Amino acid sequence: METKSHAVPISIIIAGLIIAGAVIFNGRETGISKTSEEKKEVAEAKVIGNLEVKKVDSNDHILGSANAQMVFVEYSDTECPFCKQFHATMHSIVDNYGKEGKVAWVYRHFPIAELHKKAAKEAEATECAAELGGNAKFWQYIDRLYSVTPSNDGLDPAKLPEIASDVGLDSAQFNECLSSGKYTEKVADEYDAAVKAGARGTPYTVVILKNKLTEKDKQDIMASLNAAFEKLAPGSNFPRELFSFDDEGDKIIFSGALPYQLLDEGIIKTLLADSQ
């Protein structure tokens, strides 16, 4: 069977690098104060149409309830250093909001081969973990992988079966699964699905909402994001280009390894307050 190529357009590579650089919140932005016009625009975000995001189903890897008020669908690359950072952020979000059914997290593969040649095989390794141990072992495996990889193709492939053993999987069965290439096609399909969903870099996240947003909701979210960003990087220009809404009003899209505080105060708490 012919497998799909992981080749990625140069535009995606460039966009991914731009996104990565745009979300390092270290206070070293331009420092230019926002004009009144910029402050007005910050309450607006672009609306995109024809967003093809596959519905969450039993084949997905999920933490939390699929019926949660907000489902964060993340498209990620295991050798991306920003994805490693964001992985910890998403765990914090689910730890704080998942048990109450408010937030869930779905992980989908988007290995960009031109940047990280090892990421696709690592994605296959996580699928083998899921086959051998179910959803729980998928998460244990990928958590361990992110914790040990130096990122940027720094993980020795010999570590993959060691990680399997570390999380309690049979290493022989794991090696048989990984060497078979049985999940190569699935990872390639998820890559294609990520592109259709608008991904141009990693991490890329689509928040699927249980309730549709009103125009006021959108304005509240953008205003809250702006306020949260001002706390993180005082005097810096809010990167509103990283955020968008779909034209049906039930999805929020953002790019980059955004920090917990920005997502918590800008999106999660705002939506929870508006729903009361």
Which domains does the chain show, CATH number per domain? 37-48+60-245+256-274 (3.40.30.10)
Closest to 42 in 3D by CA, of 257, 210, 243, 183: 243
Q: Which pLDDT does position 276 carry in this prediction?
A: 64
Q: Which pLDDT does position 111 carry in this prediction?
A: 98
User: From residue 243, how far is each of 23, 59, 161, 239 by CA, in Å?
Assistant: 12, 27, 38, 8
Q: Which pLDDT does position 10 carry in this prediction?
A: 41
Closest to 62 in 3D by CA, of 100, 108, 93, 95: 108
Q: Which pLDDT does position 193 carry in this prediction?
A: 97
User: From residue 220, how far is each of 19, 23, 217 by CA, in Å?
Assistant: 24, 21, 5
pLDDT in tens, the chain (276 residues): 333 344 444 444 334 444 444 443 333 332 223 333 444 444 566 888 778 999 999 999 999 999 999 999 999 999 999 999 999 999 999 999 999 999 999 999 999 999 999 999 999 999 999 999 999 999 999 999 999 999 999 999 999 999 999 999 999 999 999 999 999 999 999 999 999 999 999 999 999 999 999 999 999 999 999 999 999 999 988 888 899 999 999 999 999 999 999 999 999 999 999 676
Q: Which pLDDT does position 23 carry in this prediction?
A: 41
What is the distance between the alpha carbons of residues 215 and 149, in angstroms, rounded to a whole number?
A: 42
Give 208's strand partners.
71, 251
Q: Which pLDDT does position 152 carry in this prediction?
A: 98
Q: Which pLDDT does position 265 carry in this prediction?
A: 97
Q: How many CB atoms lie within 10 A of CB 125?
A: 24
pTM for the model stands at 0.86
Show Cβ contacts of residue 59 under 8 Å, excluding neighbours closer than 6 positions: none
Q: Which pLDDT does position 247 carry in this prediction?
A: 93
What would the 3-class secondary structure string for the chain be? CCCCCCCCCHHHHHHHHHHHHHCCCCCCCCCCCCCHHHHHHCCCCEEECCCCCCCCCCCCEEECCCCCCEEEEEEECCCCHHHHHHHHHHHHHHHHHCCCCCEEEEEEECCCCCCCCCHHHHHHHHHHHHHHHHHHHHHHHHHHHHHHCCCCCCCCCCHHHHHHHHCCCCHHHHHHHHHHCCCHHHHHHHHHHHHHCCCCCCCEEEEEECCCCCHHHHHHHHHHHHHHHHHHCCCCCCCHHHEEEECCCCEEEEECCCCHHHHHHHHHHHHHHHCC
